[in-house]
Amino acid sequence: MRKVIYGGATSLDNFLARPDGAVDWLMWNDEVAAITMEMWKTVDTMLMGRKTYEVARRMGGGPEGGVFAEIKSYVFSRTLPDEAGVNIVREDVAAFVARLKPQPGKDIVVMGGGELARPLFEAGLIDRVGFNIHPVLLGSGVPAFHPMTRQIDLELEESRPFKNGSLYVSYRVVH
Amino acid sequence: MRKVIYGGATSLDNFLARPDGAVDWLMWNDEVAAITMEMWKTVDTMLMGRKTYEVARRMGGGPEGGVFAEIKSYVFSRTLPDEAGVNIVREDVAAFVARLKPQPGKDIVVMGGGELARPLFEAGLIDRVGFNIHPVLLGSGVPAFHPMTRQIDLELEESRPFKNGSLYVSYRVVH
């Protein structure tokens, strides 16, 4: 069964971006590049919500190139218009992912943010959580976690401080 | 100058307790005991809000014994009635702590939760942050961080995975 991975870069107070979506606080170095590249090797499918998709489009991603060209991506939205080259999914995210997981393929990554992750956590469909925790409290922003109706138990698999002061953590979800 | 320390045990989604204050999910072992004991050796003053004080009272703490007997503690509340043996502070927390820091003594610890920490962070009065991050997403509860009007920069000093799967992290606040 393919694994579903939720992760990204966060602040210590669990924000993925500033309130306006800005990620100017992110630190990048060779260690982050290496771990990101390793992750992408295991993945062939990317899930995102409308807001993340719109941020990705503004940053130059899109059906014409970038990660969209190499990875099968699905955008969950009931309001986005159909667009050539973009797989817009209008059905319930948990039902869709439950059908996707048993299909042959590599792992599936949930791109921030927390609004898409919440129903997947609640349905028990997320298998791994990986964060690059940055040494900052943003104070406000786009949350990595939205309130959930149940507890999710995790198992720490790895914690690795990077030279630049961020801390990579990886957890397995206990099903 | 005495340092002000904010910390405690958290879930990965940054809760200090369940919505009703329950901390039944906390894991305790010899490593946690050792690091907690080390911390208390450096501290002689404890700050808490009314809600934390009331939880501590229910758990058996109070002016008659427990940690209250060995550590000078201040409870910030505008509504609690005066009580023998309890230092109830009715003034602004940041103004009070700004006066307390230059006084001789050991370090000062801010006991959860986030409501008391927020004005102290915003006023630049917190010097260290230490969390024992538990491998769980509680989904809802008492937040360790409340929305702040500004960013707080940190420097990772230590990260130490414990045998039981929780992860101790310690940060210095960059002033």
- pLDDT tens readout for residues B119-170: 999 999 999 999 999 999 999 999 999 999 999 999 999 999 999 999 999 9
Chain A residue numbers touching B135 (CB-CB < 8 A): 153-156, 171
Residue showing tokens 């099968």: A72
A15, amino acid identity: F
**Least confident stretch, A27-31, A101-105, A134-138:** A27-31
Q: Which of B145, B164, B170 to mutate to test the interface with A (most CBs of A within 10 A)?
A: B145
Put simply, the answer to whether A159 touches B145 (Cβ < 8 Å) is no
Residue B45's pLDDT is: 94
- Residue B65: pLDDT above 60? no
DSSP output for A91-143: S-HHHHHHHHTTSSSSEEEE-S-HHHHHHHHHTT---EEEEEEESEE-SSSEE
Report the residue count for chain B. 175
Q: Which residues sit opposite A73 in a β-bridge?
A: A46
Residue A164's pLDDT is: 92
What A17-24 contacts at long range (C-beta under 8 Å, 24+ apart), as own/partner pairs, is A17/A55, A17/A112, A17/A113, A17/A141, A17/A142, A18/A138, A18/A140, A18/A141, A18/A142, A19/A140, A19/A141, A19/A142, A21/A51, A21/A55, A21/A142
Chain B residue numbers touching A153 (CB-CB < 8 A): 135-136
Per-residue confidence band for A96, with pLDDT thresholds at 50, 70 and 90:
very high
Pairing verdict, β B4-11 and B107-110: parallel
Put simply, the answer to whether B171 touches A135 (Cβ < 8 Å) is yes
- Residue B59: pLDDT above 80? no
CA distance B162 to chain A (A): 10
Put simply, the answer to whether B14 touches A145 (Cβ < 8 Å) is yes
> Would you call A67 helix, strand, or coil by DSSP?
helix
Residue A85's pLDDT is: 79
Put simply, the answer to whether A139 touches B153 (Cβ < 8 Å) is no
Pairing verdict, β A15-17 and A142-143: antiparallel
Per-residue confidence band for B64, with pLDDT thresholds at 50, 70 and 90:
low
Put simply, the answer to whether B165 touches A153 (Cβ < 8 Å) is no
Per-residue confidence band for A67, with pLDDT thresholds at 50, 70 and 90:
low
Identify which has the larger pLDDT, B28 or B125: B125
Pairing verdict, β B152-161 and B167-173: antiparallel
CA distance A149 to chain B (A): 6
Put simply, the answer to whether A121 touches B137 (Cβ < 8 Å) is yes
Per-residue confidence band for A4, with pLDDT thresholds at 50, 70 and 90:
very high
- Residue B69: pLDDT above 90? no
Put simply, the answer to whether B136 touches A154 (Cβ < 8 Å) is yes
Chain A residues with CB within 8 Å of chain B CB: 12-14, 25, 121, 129, 133, 135-140, 144-145, 147-156, 159, 161, 165-167, 169, 171
Of the candidates B129, B136, B147, which has its C-beta nearest A139's C-beta? B147
The answer to whether residues A5 and A127 touch, using CB atoms and an 8 Å cutoff, is: yes
Residue B133's pLDDT is: 98
Q: Which residues sit opposite B48 in a β-bridge?
A: B75
Q: Which domains does chain B have, with CATH numbers?
A: 39-107 (3.40.430.10)
